[in-house]
């Protein structure tokens, strides 16, 4: 059971991180610094720490707030962010 959770978490995070701004920033920093190992260690450490904090906070919140409420808040948050990203594009389409 823990192996299934481990694999599903790895797959989800790995696919979510491919091509995101963090990966692009890491590629740019690695190319401009000519020290890819230092960039790898720094970005890996940052990702591990951010993920640790997310898991710690998520585990703590889930003991107080029901799981369905957390999912609703996350869904509304992502919907809000998505609409904010789309609205300027829709406005630009109307002007042209």
What is the model's pTM? 0.61
What's the burial of 86, exposed, middle or buried (CB within 10 Å: 0-12/13-18/19+)? exposed
Residue ranges of the domains in the chain? 1-64, 66-96
Mean pLDDT of 25-36: 90
Q: What percent of the chain has pLDDT over 70?
A: 93
Q: What is the pLDDT of residue 15?
A: 87
Q: What is the pLDDT of residues 17-29, one digit of tens each?
A: 888 888 888 889 9
- Kindly tell me if the per-residue pLDDT of 59 is higher than 90: no
Identify which has the larger pLDDT, 17 or 49: 49
């Amino acid at each position: 059971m823990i192996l299934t959770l481990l694999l599903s978490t790895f797959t989800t995070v790995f696919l979510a991180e491919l091509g995101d701004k963090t990966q692009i920033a890491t590629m740019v920093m690695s190319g401009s610094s000519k020290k890819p190992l230092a960039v790898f260690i720094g970005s890996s450490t940052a990702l591990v720490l951010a993920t640790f904090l997310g898991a710690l906070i998520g585990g703590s919140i889930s003991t107080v707030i029901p799981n369905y409420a957390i999912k609703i808040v996350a869904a509304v948050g992502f919907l809000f962010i998505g609409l904010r990203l789309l609205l300027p594009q829709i406005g630009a389409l109307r002007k042209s």
